[in-house]
Structure 1
Amino acid sequence: MADHQLRSIPDFFLELTIADEADTRRLANDLAVMLRAGDVVCLSGDLGAGKSTLTRALVRSLAKDPELEVPSPTFTLVQTYEFDRFDLSHLDLYRLEDPEELEELGLEDLLETGAALIEWPEKAEELLPEKALWIQITQPDEAEDKRLFRFHAADISWQARTLETHEIRTFLERSSFPDAERRFLAGDASLRTFETVTANDRSAVLMRWPFHQNTLAQGVSDYMSSVHLAQDCRSVLAIGAELRQRGFRAPKVYEAEPDKGLVLAEDLGRETIVKNGAPVSERYFAAVEVLANMHGQTWPRSLPVDGYRTYEVPGYSSDALITEASLFLDWYVPEKTGRAVDVAARVSFENLWRKTLQSIASAQYGWVLRDFHSPNLLWQYDATGTDRIGLIDFQDTVYGPVAYDVASLLLDARTDISQDLESALFDAYVSLRENQSQGFDKVGFSAAYSVMAAQRISKIIGIFVRLARRDGKPAYLSHLPRMLGYLDRVLDRPNLSELKDWYNGFRH
C-alpha cells in the first residue's frame, strides 16, 4: 500500500517478520483465536503479498479444517462462513468500482452476527469502520518468502488484544508446546479466557487472566473485593498445587507466568458428571466422596506460590455471604415486581440473614471451592476413587462453612436434581463423614447445609437475571424455574421458617 494510503490510520504498533507459509498459518491461528463478532480486519498489500494466504489460513483455523476450500470472492465480492462462535465474512474489494457499493454488500448487517476480513480495503475509502484493525503486508525481497506484517489500529482495544495474542504465542514458544495449534475454548463471566493448545498429539489448556484493576468499573471492582473473588492467577496456582499434593485431581501446571496471567495446564477433558443434560448418579456419588475426603482434612490459610510470595485464602465472611445473597434483591426482585427494593426492606433482609448465619456459627469451617457443581467436575474414565473427579474453576476458594460446597453439588444450578437423589447424596456424605469421625455433628451439618443452600440459590438466581439483563445473555433465564424450585424445597426446612416468610412476601 502506498504511503499516502496509510495517512488516515495511526502508525503501526506491531511489526512481525514472517519467514514462510507455516509462520503465516500460525499468525492466522493467533488472529482467529482473538477475533470476535463485530470485528473488521483490513488486509492491505500488493498482488502476491500474501493477503489471500493469510485469509485462507484464518478461515481454516476457525473451521478447524486444514483442507477446507476457501475460494476467493473476487467476483462475488463477499463470501460468508458460518461457525459456532460467530459468522465470518470474507470481502475482496479489488473489483469494487464505486465505494458506495460497499453499502449494497450489507457490511453493517454482516457485523451484527459476525466478523469481516476485507482484502483491498483502500477501494472502500472512508466507508469502513474507524474501529478496524489494518494489517499491511509487504515483501521486502521478491527473491525470498519472507513477509513483513505491520499492524495499525486507532482503537486501543485492538492494540491490546493483538499484543496479548502475540504474547501468548511467545509464551507457547518457550513452553513444552512450541508451534501449538490454538483453539478458543471458553470465556467465563470474569476476565479470563481459555484455549486448548495441541502439539505432537498432546493437548493442554491455556488460561489467560489479565487482571488490571484500572480496567474494571468501580462497582465491579468493589463487588469482587467485597465477596472475596480472586483477582489474579496466583490463586489458581496456589490452590491447585495444594489440592494435587493432597491427592485430588486438579490439573497439573506445565508452564506459568503469573505476572502476565498465563497458565498452561493439563487438559482433563470435557466430560462432566452430567450426560445428555441429566445427572449421572454414579458420578455425583463420586463427587460426594471427594467432598467428604476434603472435609475430613484441615486446610491451610496461607499457601506458597513461588519462591518469594504466598497466597492467603480469604475468609468467607458474613458480610460477603450477605452481599452475595443480596443479588436476589438487586436483580430478581425488580425482575419479578417491576420495582427496586426500598431501603427498609433491604435492611430487614440483611438483618434476617445476619441472624440466620449466626445460627450456624459453630458449623465446620474449611476450604470452600465455591463452584463445586457439574460444569467444573470433569469425569475421568481411566481413574478410580476420588481421581475420577477432575477439579477446575477453584480460583475463588475461600475459608468458610464446608456445607456450602455440598449444597452447591446437591442442588446443581445446571441440571435438575430430584429430591430423592438429593436425599441419597446427602445421606452418602453424612455416612462417609461419620465413618471418618464418631464426633461428626449430623444435626449441625444439616442446619448449615440448609442455610448455605438458601444463600447460594439466592445468589445464583440474582446472577442469572444479571447475566440476562445486564450482560445480554437471556439464555440464563431458562435456569430460573429450576433454581426457584430448589429455593422452595430448601425454605421448607424448619430452621429457615423466618427466611421463608420473607422470601414469600416478595415472590407471591
Structure 2
Amino acid sequence: MSDLPEGLQSFVTGAGWGDAAIEPIPGDASFRRYFRLRRDNGDTAMLMHAPPPEEDPQPFLHVAHWLSDNGMRAPAIFAEDAAQGWVLTEDFGNDRMREWVDAAPQSETAAYETAIDALVALHQKPAGPFAPYDMATYRREAALLTEWYAPAQSLEVDEAGYAAAWEQALAPMIERQGPGVTVLRDYHAENIMLLGDPLAGAPQGLIDFQDALVGHRAYDLVSLLQDARRDVSEELEAAMLARYAQKAGSDDEFLADYARLGAQRNAKIVGIFTRLYMRDGKPRYLSMIPRVWAAMERDLAHPALAPVAEWFAANIPDELRKSGGGTIA
C-alpha cells in the first residue's frame, strides 16, 4: 500500500506484528489515522497514527494506562512510540453500542445498565491525575454557543450576560464537585464498544477518553443519557438515573447538578456542531442539533438554571427555540 504513513512497517515489525495484513479504517479526523492489523491465525490489533505536531497520542496513553491500572476496560496498549505518533492497542471490534441497540432494541436497557454500572465503578475510585473541570472550562465550553451559533443565526446577543448567567448557575455545583471523579467527557453510545451481547451480560470497552478531566460525577451521565447522536427516551433516562442513584447515591441537589451540566454540555454541543459546519464544512452534524436543543430546553426548565433560562428568553427568539435551534445555512 503506497499510501501508508512512513515508519508504519518498522513500528509494527518492532511490536511483533510485522507479518500482519494492514487494513486502513476510514475516519473523520484530518490527521489521525487508524488501521486494523490482522494475522493469519485471526488475531487482530488496532494501530493508531497520531503524528506530531498536529496530533499528540500522549494524552490518550496517559488516560488509557490509568483506566487499565484501575480496573476499567480501556484497550490494552501493546506498543507505543508517542514521539512518532504510533500506538498499537487491543482491538475491540466493530460493535459500537449505538448500532447494536438500534438494530436490536430489546438489548437497549441491558446495554445502558452495563454502561451505568461502569460509571458507578469509575466513580468509586479516587480521581485520576488529570486537570480539573473548573469554572473557566465550563464557561469557555458554554461560550461556543454565543461564538458560533449566534453569528450563524445573525443574532446580536449579550455575551457578558451569558457568561454571568452561567457563573451564577454553576457556582453552587462547583462547591459540591470536589474532590471530583474522573470524567471521560464523551461517554456515549458511539464511544462504547460492545464485546458481546448485552443481554448475556457481556462487558463493554471504552474509547475516545483522551480528554479526561476531574469533575462532577453527573457529567458522564449527561453525556450518556442526553446523547447528541441517538434518541434516548425520557423514560430510559429516568430509569438509568434511578439505577445510578440506587447504586451510587443521589439527591435533589445531584439532580439539579445533572440539569446544570446537561444545559452546559448541550449548549457546548450546539456551538461545536455549528462550528463543524461553518468552519470545517461538515454539514452532517446539523441534523443532530434539534435533538441536542430539545434536551437543553428540558434542562433549562429546572429552577437551578433560572439565570441561564432568563438569558435564553431574552436573547434567542422563540421561533428558533421552538424549532430546535432553527435552520443553519
TM-score, normalised to structure 2, is 0.88
CA contact (8 A) 1:178 1:199 kept: no
The residue aligned with 2:138 is 321
Equivalent residue for 1:332? 149
Choose which of 39, 42, 51 in structure 2 pairs with 1:199: 39
The yes-or-no answer on 1:496 pairing with 2:305 is yes
- What displacement does 1:276 show? 6.3
| Aligned-residue offset at 1:166 | 2.1
**How many Å separate the matches in 1 of 2:306 and 2:96?**
35
Distance between the aligned counterparts of 1:192 and 1:296, measured in 2?
A: 33
Letter in 1 for 2:271: G
Greater mean deviation of Cα atoms: 269-278 or 321-330: 269-278
User: In structure 1, what is the Cα distance between the partners aligned to 2:86 and 2:265?
Assistant: 30
Aligned residue in 1 for 2:56: 232
Structure 1 residue 241: deviation in Å? 1.6
Report the CA distance shift for 1:448/1:458 in structure 2 as closer, same or farther (over 3 A). Answer: same
Match of 1:293 in 2: 121
* Residues 462-501 of structure 1 aligned to structure 2 (within 5 Å): 462-501=271-310
Q: Residue type of the partner of 2:117? A: E
| Farther-moved stretch of structure 1 (274-283 vs 465-474) | 274-283
Contact 2:183 / 2:215 at 8 angstroms: preserved in 1? yes
Indicate the residue corresponding to 1:268 in structure 2.
92
Distance in 2 between residues matched to 1:276 and 1:179, nearest whole Å: 32
Question: What is the Cα deviation at residue 30 of structure 1?
Answer: 4.2
Q: Which of the two has greater strand per residue?
A: 1
Structure 2 residue aligned with 1:169: 9
Matching residue of 1:393: 208
Amino acid at match of 1:210: P
Cα deviation per residue 1:445-491 (whole Å; 9 max; x = unaligned)?
21221111111101111111111121111111110111111111111
Residue in structure 2 matched with residue 247 of structure 1 by the alignment? 71
CA deviations on 1:317-340 (whole Å, 9 max, x unpaired) are 21111111111111112223x245
Cα deviation, residue 385, structure 1: 9.7
Change (3 A) 1:297 1:366: same
C-alpha separation between the residues in 1 aligned to 2:88 and 2:223? Answer: 28
Q: Whose RCO is larger (CA < 8 A, sep 6+)?
A: 2
Q: How much does 1:179 deviate?
A: 3.2
CA distance in 2 between counterparts of 1:386 and 1:398 reads 29
SS in 2 for 1:351: helix
User: Are residue 348 (structure 1) and residue 161 (structure 2) matched?
Assistant: yes
- Which segments of structure 1 move beyond 4 Å, counting only runs of 4 or more? 382-387
Shift of 1:503: 1.8
Structure 1: stretches of 5+ with no match in the other structure: 1-28, 34-164, 216-230, 302-312, 435-440
Tell me how far apart the structure 2 counterparts of residues 251 and 334 of structure 1 sit (CA, whole Å). Answer: 40
CA gap 1:190/1:495 in 2 versus in 1, 3 angstroms: farther
Matching of residue 428 in structure 1 with residue 243 in structure 2: yes
1:95-127 Cα shifts (integer Å, max 9, x gaps): xxxxxxxxxxxxxxxxxxxxxxxxxxxxxxxxx
Q: Distance in 2 between matches of 1:295 and 1:504?
A: 36
Match of 1:362 in 2: 175
Offset, 1:373: 0.6
Count of aligned pairs: 310
Partner of 1:20: none
Change (3 A) 1:204 1:464: same
Bigger Rg over Cα? 1
Gaps of 5+ in 2: 319-329
CA distance in 1, matches of 2:47, 2:231: 31
1:283 alignment partner AA: A
Percentage identity across paired residues of the two chains: 32
Q: Tell me, what secondary structure is at the counterpart of 2:173? A: coil
- For the 8 Å contact 1:272–1:374, the answer to whether it is kept is yes
| Cα distance, 1:354 vs structure 2 | 1.3
Which deviates further from its counterpart, 270-279 or 373-382?
Answer: 270-279
3-state SS, counterpart of residue 88 of structure 2: strand
Are the counterparts in 2 of residues 185 and 194 from structure 1 also a CA contact under 8 Å? yes
Letter in 1 for 2:36: T
Tell whether the 8 Å contact from 1:239 to 1:395 is kept in structure 2 after alignment: yes
Structure 2 counterpart SS, 1:194: strand
* Aligned alpha-carbon RMSD (Å): 2.2
Separation in 2 of the partners of 1:385 and 1:293? 20
Q: Are the counterparts in 2 of residues 363 and 448 from structure 1 also a CA contact under 8 Å? A: no
Deviations 1:199-242 (A, max 9, x none): 22221111111231xx6xxxxxxxxxxxxxxx622222221122
Task: Please give the secondary structure, in 2, of the residue aligned with 1:402.
Answer: coil
| SS of residue paired to 1:497 | helix
In the alignment, which residue of structure 1 is the partner of 2:110? 282
What's the CA shift for 1:245?
2.1
What is the deviation of 1:423?
Answer: 0.7
